[in-house]
Structure 1
Amino acid sequence: MSNGTSATLSLVLGLGLLAGAGYMFSDTRQLISAAEKAPGIVVGFERRSSKGGSTDYSVIEFATASGEVRRFTTSGPGDYAKGKTVEVLYDASDPAHARVNVFIELWLGSLALGAFGLLCLGVGLGTWLYERARLKAGVEKIS
C-alpha cells in the first residue's frame, strides 16, 4: 500500500471517528439538557465476554417520575457494588435511554472516539504532507 493510500485511509478513518464522537457528544448533551433525575440501585451484573476474558457491567434499576420501574445496563464496567445507590439521568419521553450520572459513563465514549479520530487525522495529514514535500523536492519513490 502506497503512502498516499495510507494517508487517505487514515484521513477518512479519522474523519469518521470524529463524526462518531460528535454524534455521541451531541447525544449526551441532549440527554443532560432534557433529562429527569432519579435514584437508581445496582441490582446485579451482566457478564460480557471478549477475547481477553470477561467483564461485569452493572445493571441499574430506577423508577421514573410516573412510577414505572425501568432497568438498564451501564455502557462500561463500573466500580459499583450490588445495592449501591447511583444517580440516573433518563429521557422522560424514552426512559430506556438512561445513564448513570458520572463523568466516565457520560463522556468517555465521545472522548475516546475523538482522541482516536484526531490521532488518525494527524497521522494521515502528516503522511500526506510528507509525501507532498518529498514529491515537490523531486525525490523518486523506491519500489
Structure 2
Amino acid sequence: MCNASDILQSSVLFWTLSFIPATILPYLALGLLSTSFIIYGLRYSCPAVTLDRLENTITAVEDSILIHAKAKCMRDYLALVEAETRFLRTKLAVSRLHSRLLEARSMSGWKNYLRAILTISRALAMLEREVRDIQTSLLVLIEAAQQESI
C-alpha cells in the first residue's frame, strides 16, 4: 500500500534527478563504485579484521585439522611434532601481535601509531602465510597417512 508521503518523496526524487545532465550519471556511478571498492579494501586489510580472520583460522586448524592429524599420523610422529611446534610458535606470535595492537591504540602521536600499525600489518600478513603453510603441511601428513593405510 502506498501512502501520500511515499509518492511525494519519489516524485521529489525524480524531479531532482531531472536537473542532473544524463552525461554525468555514468561518472557519478563510477565514482561511487570506486569509492566503495576502496573502502572495502581498506576495511579488509585493517589490522583488527586481519587479526580476527587469523584467529578464526587458527581456531579451525587447532579444533579440527590438528586433532585429526594427531589421531591419524602416528607413524610420522616427528613431522607431526614439528608441525605442531610451528603452529604453537605461530599462535604465540599472534597473541603477541594482538597485545601490540592493543598497545598501539593508546600511543601518543599519529606518526608512532602509523608506524606501529604498518609493522603489525606486515607481521600479520607473514603469520597468515605461515598458518596456511602449517595447515597445508598437516593436510599433506593426513593424506599420506590415509594413503599408507590403503
Greater strand content = 1
Greater helix content = 2
* TM superposition score normalised by structure 1: 0.42
Larger radius of gyration: 2
* TM superposition score normalised by structure 2: 0.40
